[in-house]
Amino acid sequence: MGDSQTVDMKIEGKVVDVCKKKGCWMTLAMPNGDPMRVTFKDYAFFMPKDIVGKTVVLDGIAKKQTISVETLRHYAEDAKQSPEEVAKITDPKRELAFEAKGVVVLEE
């Protein structure tokens, strides 16, 4: 991405987590080992909750962003983390994220 804050692109990756409530976000494994959070444009669609380990192709916008403590705690609650784990989240996090306009789950 260089110095750009957002870039329109297509990417492929392996799903490592999906929102346990309704599939409203997922995370992909990045080449450096960090997860990348994927949300869906205009909250227009959700992912099946059973696609962990599957490969997906995404079309959308990669962006550098800072996630607030409140949002990080919300994501942790969606992932069914314990109240103790949620309480340990005390600092915002700078991360690479992706807002998908479309997702294809590949057959494996």
Residue 1 in domain: no
pLDDT greater than 90 at residue 58:
yes
Q: Is residue 23 part of a domain?
A: yes
- Residue 81 DSSP one-character state: -
Residues spanned by the domain of 85: 6-105
Please state, in angstroms and rounded to a whole number, the distance separating the CA atoms of residues 91 and 56: 30
Of all residues in the chain, the percent with pLDDT exceeding 70 is 99
11 located within any domain = yes
* C-alpha dist (Å) from residue 49 to 15, 25, 28, 54, 107: 11, 10, 14, 11, 16
* Number of domains comprising the chain: 1
* Greatest pairwise CA separation for the chain in angstroms: 39
pTM of the prediction?
0.78
Whichever domain contains 60, its CATH number is: 2.40.50
Q: Give a yes or no: residue 70 inside a domain.
A: yes
The answer to the question of residue 76 being in a domain is yes
